[in-house]
Amino acid sequence: MQQVNPANAVPVTRGRSGKRFPFGMAFVYLCLSLWALTTIYPLIWIINNSFKSSDEVMDNSFKLAIPPDKLNYTNAFESISIGRAYANSLIMSVSVVLLVLIVAGLAAYILSRFKFRGRNLINSLLVATLLIPTFATVVPVYELLLKWKVVNTYFGLILPQTAGNLSFAILVIAGYLATIPKELEEAAFIDGCNRFNMFTKIFLPVGRPVFASTSIFVFLWSYNDLFSAIIFVNKDSVRPIVALLAQISSQYGTDFGLMAAAVVLTVIPVLIVYLFIQKYIEKGMTEGAIKG
Amino acid sequence: MKGDKNYILAFLLPAFLLLGTFVYYPFLKSFYLSFFRTNGFFNKKFVGLDNYERLFSDDLLGAATLHTLEIMLYVLIFQVGIALVLAVMVDSISKGKQFFRTVFFFPIVISGAAISLLFVLIYNYQFGLLNGIIAKLGFEPILWMSETGSLKAVAVPTVWHYVGFYFVLFLTAMSKIPSDFYEAAKLEGIGGIKKTTMLTIPLILSDIKVVMILAITGTLKIFDFVFILTRGGNGTELLGTYMYKKALVDQNFGYGSTIAIYIVIFGVILSLITNRLLKREEVTY
């Protein structure tokens, strides 16, 4: 890594185009804002509609809900016990995230920083694993879970979901860890660290951005995974919120107001969690960007 | 380093134990099942390669394959393309980076099922969003979910859903490029589009490759959108939904497993081709 001479050190803000293309910049901002509109508007639309009765939604889905009507929300909590489903989702998805980060982190560390025979083979194996769709494994996994008597328990969903996320997580984390300069490792070695210490003292902290991003993806995937949820944990006491959502759309299929409220309740907590972790990632990324 | 071997084994073990139990073993079991004709869980009759022969003469499968390839094309061009363009744009601005990053990610937070429901309403012929706007402008309402248009109609939410995902991956890759490169470029007077095509993109080529493979394999798994919007009708049957129909609706796990194997092999071939076409040296800095 080059040493940065303080005399000509440049601040690490990334506005590289500077004054070159003023009209170009305006164009860029325009495009970005248009796309931002398509990502934000549907959320607003659905939050708005969740405060209307179903008839009002069908009548005009764009009218502002004034005054906002809470009927859909009270309905959701009372008649379909959405609170329990929430708790289930959170418990299971957070467990999956933690498990994946630990298991994949260790494996990714090995894959990216050690040289050994068979490394490329394992890499290719992991990529190939990405191609295995859930449907190809679901039935035998169900049989397995039945045999171990964990169907309709938390582990019944946590274990398969963790396994399902591992190949993706390992590849992404390893990809990032591979770009960490060797000098850090060498310095640690000189300082007398063993491999495990190197992992905890160097790679874990330096790899924070990728761990944070991976945890978001894993959490989202686990939280929104409908297919496995309906099959493995469909009983009321353990059912996650997505399964509940699916049931609503079939049972209360024409109550658009209730559906909108259910969707909002499903989506908002994830958004909030996401916004929190975002700050964390941003900090991690700028820390890592200062070289030298 | 000495003693490395123990670490290698110990750290890789948990991962592969989980993968072995919940992915590899079930997958092999499915492969085993593909040689049977099943009826429910417990009735199995060994039929050898019958299921595979059926694959070749199955017109529906051929159609599903073509549809999947078509969507793959849309996904590669639009989803990856837009993600790349957005990443380049956001990387070049100085203010508002964080805002756009956060906001572009929203669609991913919303589950595919919810988005599908949203688009059911948007495409609805009588009171949907699109036809509502068109009617206000004085035109005839369009049947979006028609014979020919349905596949494209399904492609839109599919593409839109995950643009943010690849966008974040690209942006992260771009932000790791050290300033030195850009400084040098500035000194040489290279800027704007030339800088992007000759500097930024080549440096993140390995990430682009990963994203393309993710996009291709992801297309093979598309399910929610087709299922909720069209149930596979009107020329939108994809490999994923077809397999679901055979395995879980018709309860023919044997043939369903055969289709699953077919999908996997198909995916492997496509990935290998992509890998070959984009062969470049790894860049570390």
The answer to whether residue B83 is domain-embedded is yes
Distance CA A244, CA A252 (A): 11
- Whether the per-residue pLDDT at A17 is higher than 70: the answer is no
Q: Is the dihedral of CA A287, A288, A290, A292 positive or negative?
A: positive
Candidate from A80-89, A161-170, B126-135, B189-198 with smallest mean pLDDT: B126-135
The answer for A 29-58 residues in CB contact with B (under 8 A) is 29, 31-32, 35-36, 38-40, 42-43, 45-46, 58
- With CB atoms and an 8 Å threshold, state whether B14 touches A106: yes
Per residue of chain B (285 residues), what is the pLDDT tens digit? Answer: 666 788 888 888 899 999 999 999 988 888 887 787 776 666 777 877 877 888 888 888 888 888 888 888 888 889 888 888 888 888 888 788 888 888 888 888 777 777 777 777 677 666 666 777 777 777 777 777 777 777 888 888 888 888 888 888 888 788 777 778 878 887 887 777 777 777 777 777 777 887 888 888 888 878 777 777 776 677 778 877 777 777 766 767 778 778 888 888 888 888 888 878 776 555 555
Distance CA A194, CA A189 (A): 7
Distance CA B212, CA B271 (A): 9
Q: What is the DSSP letter of B141?
A: P
Q: What is the DSSP letter of B37?
A: E
Alpha-carbon distances, residue B157 vs A40, A105, B101, B160, B248 (angstroms): 14, 33, 19, 5, 25
Looking at the structure of chain B, the number of domains it has is: 1
Alpha-carbon distances, residue B168 vs A20, A279, B106, B192, B211 (angstroms): 26, 14, 12, 21, 11
What amino acid occupies position A224?
N
- The dotted CATH code for A84-256+276-289 is 1.10.3720.10
Q: Which pair of structure tokens corresponds to residue B163?
A: 């643009």
> Mean of the pLDDT values across residues A100-118?
88
Contact A158, B266 (CB under 8 A): no
Write down the H helix ranges in chain B. Answer: 4-19, 25-33, 50-57, 59-74, 81-92, 97-104, 106-109, 112-123, 129-136, 150-175, 179-188, 192-195, 201-203, 205-220, 224-229, 239-244, 253-277
Nearest Cα neighbor of A81 from A207, A243, A284 is A243
Q: Is the bond preceding B202 in cis, omega lying within 30 degrees of 0?
A: no
Bridge partners of residue B38, in order along the sequence: B44
- Determine which of A2, A35, A113 to mutate to test the interface with B (most B C-beta atoms within 10 Å): A35
Domain with B184, as residue range(s), is 66-277
Bridge partners of residue B43, in order along the sequence: B39
Contact B215, B75 (CB under 8 A): yes
The answer to whether residue B11 is domain-embedded is no
Nearest Cα neighbor of A245 from A269, A232, A229, A222 is A229
Q: Which pair of structure tokens corresponds to residue A235?
A: 């009983």
Within 8 A of B248 by CB-CB distance, chain A residues are 135
ipTM value for the complex: 0.72
Give the distance from residue A152's alpha carbon to the nearest chain B alpha carbon, in angstroms: 17
Contact status of A107 with chain B (Cβ, < 8 Å)? yes
Contact A133, B263 (CB under 8 A): yes
The answer to whether residue B94 is domain-embedded is yes
The answer to whether residue B12 is domain-embedded is no
The answer to whether residue B20 is domain-embedded is no
Candidate from A60-69, A178-187, A232-241, B274-283 with smallest mean pLDDT: B274-283
Rounded to 5 degrees, φ, ψ at B46 are -70, 125
- Whether the per-residue pLDDT at A13 is higher than 60: the answer is no
Q: What is the DSSP letter of B45?
A: E
Contact status of B30 with chain A (Cβ, < 8 Å)? yes
> Mean of the pLDDT values across residues A97-123?
89
Q: Who wins on pLDDT, B198 or A27?
A: A27
Computed over every residue of chain A, the mean pLDDT equals 77
The answer for A 214-243 residues in CB contact with B (under 8 A) is 217, 220, 223-224, 226-227, 242
Q: What local confidence, expressed as pLDDT, does residue B129 receive?
A: 67
Q: What band does A103 get if pLDDT is binned at 50, 70 and 90?
A: very high
The answer to whether residue B54 is domain-embedded is no
Distance CA A170, CA A187 (A): 25
- Whether the per-residue pLDDT at A96 is higher than 90: the answer is yes
Bridge partners of residue B37, in order along the sequence: B45
> Mean of the pLDDT values across residues A188-202?
82
Distance CA A179, CA B176 (A): 9
Check which CATH number belongs to the domain holding B130 and give it: 1.10.3720.10
Q: What local confidence, expressed as pLDDT, does residue A100 receive?
A: 94
Distance CA A220, CA A165 (A): 11
The answer for B 230-249 residues in CB contact with A (under 8 A) is 240, 243-244, 247-248
Give the residue extent of every domain in chain A.
Answer: 84-256+276-289
Contact B134, B142 (CB under 8 A): yes
Q: What local confidence, expressed as pLDDT, does residue A254 receive?
A: 65
Contact A230, A240 (CB under 8 A): no
Proportion of chain A above pLDDT 90, given as a percent: 8
The answer for B 150-169 residues in CB contact with A (under 8 A) is 160, 163-165, 168
Q: Which pair of structure tokens corresponds to residue B103?
A: 């906001």
Nearest Cα neighbor of B207 from B174, B161, B159 is B174
Nearest Cα neighbor of A98 from A206, A210, A215, A224 is A215
